[in-house]
Structure 1
């Protein structure tokens, strides 16, 4: 026989007994107990309030509102019921009523910190940042030794771009609540955003000393390791987070979802696309409404060269999150790579709303393809040097329809573009600078360089067949040819084996020089390093195997692109992974062999061994046989023989 008094139908439960059932997750029994208490005592405000909370937890918003409203009216001495009613209204998207309920709570208890913070959260939801900040500041005045108001102020400052202020506020909050894992995780993620990744790792390790199985801390630590290029550690930490979340029974829990999506993102960076698909197929079965999981699954399918499956997954993500800019951007890149090309360029405009691109304030109307034959248009460069060159191939098309064209680009490209486009005004603009006033003052309209293909490259036939777009400096070219001749007879071939500057680029975009040994043994070839950065150790290691790769003096592509272009123009052949060197040499019309992962790179499209951007470029892709970079280099060696 049960000893639980609530189990006996002839015994009226007490409120503590009903609360015990509620805490134990015995929701149906708890609701029955609360109802029996209220039936016996209709003025029991506490039972009504707890019944309202239970209704909210089970998704019955109208019942929650009705019972909490009744509870608030029965006990005018407490501010708790109006505050909880405000939270229900906020969760239902009824912000005006939520605000009124918060004010009711504050009328009863003016110094109620949680009410001020709830009011701040409501204003944050609607983007009323100043009102939200005012409320959070009032909370801080009410509780000067509490971390919660400081953490809210830090959150607001962070989302307003005031990162220095946010960092200081998070540190103050952490000092007041050293065991608050949420605040410390927020501090760590901000540190990572600011590039202080080692400091973020330290903070997250401290979190794990407080709670070794905290899934959020593990997920964020994996992200930090990923940013540092410590992939093996990141995988270990991510798998541990997934295992803990699964062990805790979080079948469709947000924590388990976050852990699995982080692991998928990490595996994507490592090129382990099949593992991404295997992982996330299970995730979307458990959590079919998880847009993030569908998105990452689509990325995995795209990495495996499955465009139709990827498109279906991206579409699924967008049905759940129609305004997710990152999904729109990746679907755009899919369509650019595989077609339809025009749809891809149209959707590529989402890049400015995605995390990967920051919108610019230039103070000029945006050009959208209308007639500008009597107007001056400003083209502002974006992304990396290679992308600026690629998009600049559309500038001659723009010249044909505009009164005057001004191109604002990386200062290192100014001499090269000015020489190559004499009918265009070319101005340098430091990457990352937000001041466009000088160049904007001369123009009527503006367009980002990456938007030009939307108007001029909507079909394959629209790509020009000219072999050469850029013109190097003739005098510098003469100097380089003398230098190359002095190296000896034979074909002069420049090579570059790394692309990208962050550790995450390594698995997909680095073809280690150690793999080039057989190719470098090809007779009759003089090899020249085109690789930027420190290469002396790699070249010395190659030399121990008998390979000689010349590292030419006064050749720094990061510092002097005009000089570098003249060197490229003096070579017989350029062999490089997909980096800015390929774009520059291709635009100069030099023979280029580009080395690419099998399915990677929207810039190079799919199913081609040539480039419509640059007719002189030949593409060598990894094959599905798993041979990787060595297989690509064997194909190059065969072609060179």
Structure 2
């Protein structure tokens, strides 16, 4: 206040100011504002009145106007600690964290023990990701008031983020010993960690909460949510079941059950639960997205599209909805709609990596290599850790003959969850160094067909290593033992309940799919002959006798689909009836190699067409792979969709014709599979009906059969 004012005026101003403060404290903000302005009419440089006018603006949600007034007040009286604190509040609300820190420090330079200023400073430091300074500041707060549980909770989060688990444990112990409801406090800390995406540390806090009260429903619900977010759905399942047993009407528990079942790919079980929850939460975006995904996975595409369209209305700025529709329409081969949705996704938000990926998949399907590669690279630019894009780019490069570049990116498949299982060992991964005096473990990854294909590299590995241990599917062990007698072959050990005893019997390891990245970096690195797998010669002779007894001419093994089917895969599979013209051809005897027990299908086919596909008795084509290999070898020719049947036939040296998606990565830019010199691959182009492929194969085999009947091969 100006010292030059007459005493009587000063007295009037003081009374007016006190009345304004009284109104302010009673929440009568308009009256307070009028009072402060009357003060300023008499005393224009009344710093406190200007400051409190700014506080009124701050209370009414206008921090920008408030900051201007408070800065003016500080210019008149720079020693007003409260003004510096309130300016810090304004600046923090405006996102000016560095300026907020400076104002808080000004306040603390005047009143070092100002609890509110210390707390604001600690929170600002936390938001600025300066954890050590934030911990120091929160510690100062707790020295002044050790029972401020939210501050102790914030310090726990920071300690855990720094890996200081012992310090965090001490704070949690203090909460348990000194608060009336420690479980609620710990739950709040865990919830904050969950909001930050730190599920692992949230579980550490929740473990302390369950130690205090094992039956607290909120704690159990938070644990289940954290486990689901960590994709530990099987661990979450019994907890959610317990919550629903205690309260079947718990909508949040129902939601968690629906989510985890969908994550476990139990879509038929998840769907009715999610639909039931929708009645209570009709505008829950996460629920609608999961319902769309579930319907899409069940190939109920109209329902999935309906949910995506609803999401567009609810969240018009969420690009992932449009991006997901790209993937759906690509699967349906509706590329025009896929492009429209993809372009809209990028317009809404050009920083969503999945949008680039889904469009890349579409252009790859359409055969536009350059555009697909560019989009995959854009996805990685947006998110360098987006391994799915890296893996897809690897496959694209391989498919177009960029072999070295493709193999160099191939390891992304593990992080993307596309190369499974990812096994961990306490030994180094082999990267091609000299291992002439070492033992290496080569372990199976992906499916049977992949493993059979990668096994073509085992002779190279055996030459390089002191000793090789091969772990593969138990069904392949006899075949591999016979084929690679210099190696030790055993069944894969992927059961997590099996605990190794003693040191490993190998000093380095490699997934089987990594071997071609070392041994097959160019086309001339592939062997000129196949037949590297050696079926039991006695069983080959046995089955040769059986297939010869089945009929005259050439004996053609036939498989027309995989066990694993979906809309995208099915376009490259056939039906048994598609092969009727081939089976009816004189000079051809068709032998079943379809391994998913097609007996009913074969019977119906025979009744409808009068044709016979011979099913060999006494063989389990799915589980007895050693015998299946012998039967494949006993055939003169094998025709198959792109399944393990084709790989097995080619690997044992039987001429094979197989078909699948055009530009398969394992073609490595050629028109064939370099892995199998005696095999022929027929690619199915975009929008090309598979019937055209059937006609090509049928005509070629018929011509071969005619030459056989003419005695050309006798």
User: For the residues of structure 1 that align with 2:586 and 2:560, how far apart are their CA atoms?
Assistant: 20
**Shift in CA distance, 531/15, structure 1 to aligned 2, threshold 3 Å:** farther
* Mapping of residues 116-127 of structure 1, within 5 Å: 116=153, 119-120=156-157, 123=160
* Mapping of residues 563-582 of structure 1, within 5 Å: 563-582=627-646
| 1:144 Cα deviation from its structure 2 partner | 9.1
Picking from 608, 614, 635, the partner of 2:696 is 635
Name structure 2 gaps, 5 residues minimum: 1-29, 39-51, 74-79, 166-198, 703-714
The equivalent residue for 1:539 is 602
Contact 2:104-2:120 within 8 A present in 1 as well: yes
The equivalent residue for 1:463 is 526
User: For the residues of structure 2 that align with 1:340 and 1:127, how far apart are their CA atoms?
Assistant: 47
Contact 1:83-1:101 within 8 A present in 2 as well: yes
The equivalent residue for 2:557 is 494
More divergent stretch after superposition (108-117 vs 511-520): 108-117
The alignment status of 1:555 with 2:619, answered yes or no, reads yes
The equivalent residue for 1:477 is 540
User: For the residues of structure 1 that align with 2:489 and 2:569, how far apart are their CA atoms?
Assistant: 34
The equivalent residue for 2:94 is 55
User: For the residues of structure 1 that align with 2:285 and 2:692, how far apart are their CA atoms?
Assistant: 40
**Shift in CA distance, 35/375, structure 1 to aligned 2, threshold 3 Å:** same
Picking from 319, 323, 328, the partner of 2:381 is 319
User: For the residues of structure 2 that align with 1:603 and 1:417, how far apart are their CA atoms?
Assistant: 22
Contact 2:359-2:375 within 8 A present in 1 as well: yes
User: For the residues of structure 2 that align with 1:66 and 1:535, how far apart are their CA atoms?
Assistant: 76
User: For the residues of structure 2 that align with 1:281 and 1:34, how far apart are their CA atoms?
Assistant: 42
Deviations 1:488-534 (A, max 9, x none): 21222121122252546643443233433444443432222211224
Picking from 287, 296, 310, the partner of 1:244 is 310
Contact 1:106-1:112 within 8 A present in 2 as well: no
What SS class does the counterpart of residue 479 from structure 2 fall into? helix
| 1:50 Cα deviation from its structure 2 partner | 6.5
For the aligned residues, what is the CA RMSD? Answer: 4.2
**Shift in CA distance, 249/528, structure 1 to aligned 2, threshold 3 Å:** same
Name structure 1 gaps, 5 residues minimum: 23-28
| 1:569 Cα deviation from its structure 2 partner | 0.6
| 1:578 Cα deviation from its structure 2 partner | 0.7
What SS class does the counterpart of residue 622 from structure 2 fall into? coil
The equivalent residue for 2:294 is 224
More divergent stretch after superposition (302-311 vs 188-197): 188-197
The equivalent residue for 2:171 is none
Contact 1:377-1:402 within 8 A present in 2 as well: yes
**Shift in CA distance, 518/215, structure 1 to aligned 2, threshold 3 Å:** farther
Contact 1:520-1:547 within 8 A present in 2 as well: yes
User: For the residues of structure 2 that align with 1:413 and 1:636, how far apart are their CA atoms?
Assistant: 30
| 1:485 Cα deviation from its structure 2 partner | 1.9
Contact 2:54-2:68 within 8 A present in 1 as well: no
The equivalent residue for 2:406 is 344
| 1:48 Cα deviation from its structure 2 partner | 5.9
Picking from 65, 85, 94, the partner of 1:32 is 65
The equivalent residue for 1:207 is 277
More divergent stretch after superposition (39-48 vs 414-423): 39-48
What SS class does the counterpart of residue 681 from structure 2 fall into? strand
Contact 2:320-2:345 within 8 A present in 1 as well: no
Deviations 1:219-248 (A, max 9, x none): 112223344xx2124x533x3344334324
Contact 1:493-1:572 within 8 A present in 2 as well: yes
The alignment status of 1:424 with 2:487, answered yes or no, reads yes
Deviations 1:62-95 (A, max 9, x none): 356567888999999998x977876655554333
User: For the residues of structure 2 that align with 1:266 and 1:372, how far apart are their CA atoms?
Assistant: 47
User: For the residues of structure 1 that align with 2:682 and 2:482, how far apart are their CA atoms?
Assistant: 31
The equivalent residue for 1:96 is 132
Contact 1:427-1:439 within 8 A present in 2 as well: no
What SS class does the counterpart of residue 345 from structure 2 fall into? helix
Picking from 477, 501, 514, the partner of 1:451 is 514
| 1:458 Cα deviation from its structure 2 partner | 0.4
**Shift in CA distance, 341/514, structure 1 to aligned 2, threshold 3 Å:** same
Picking from 356, 359, 367, the partner of 2:430 is 367
User: For the residues of structure 2 that align with 1:297 and 1:457, how far apart are their CA atoms?
Assistant: 30
**Shift in CA distance, 207/104, structure 1 to aligned 2, threshold 3 Å:** farther
Contact 2:363-2:369 within 8 A present in 1 as well: yes
Contact 2:397-2:405 within 8 A present in 1 as well: yes
User: For the residues of structure 2 that align with 1:536 and 1:292, how far apart are their CA atoms?
Assistant: 42
Contact 1:332-1:344 within 8 A present in 2 as well: yes
Contact 2:53-2:69 within 8 A present in 1 as well: yes
Contact 1:284-1:290 within 8 A present in 2 as well: yes
What SS class does the counterpart of residue 278 from structure 2 fall into? helix
User: For the residues of structure 1 that align with 2:655 and 2:324, how far apart are their CA atoms?
Assistant: 41
| 1:274 Cα deviation from its structure 2 partner | 5.2
The alignment status of 1:413 with 2:413, answered yes or no, reads no
| 1:639 Cα deviation from its structure 2 partner | 1.5
User: For the residues of structure 1 that align with 2:57 and 2:677, how far apart are their CA atoms?
Assistant: 79
Contact 2:558-2:592 within 8 A present in 1 as well: yes
| 1:367 Cα deviation from its structure 2 partner | 1.9
Picking from 366, 385, 396, the partner of 1:334 is 396
The structure showing larger relative contact order (alpha-carbon pairs under 8 Å, at least 6 residues apart) is: 1
* Mapping of residues 111-150 of structure 1, within 5 Å: 112=149, 116=153, 119-120=156-157, 123=160, 132-137=202-207, 149-150=219-220
The equivalent residue for 1:25 is none
**Shift in CA distance, 37/631, structure 1 to aligned 2, threshold 3 Å:** farther
| 1:457 Cα deviation from its structure 2 partner | 0.2
**Shift in CA distance, 84/154, structure 1 to aligned 2, threshold 3 Å:** farther
**Shift in CA distance, 139/50, structure 1 to aligned 2, threshold 3 Å:** farther
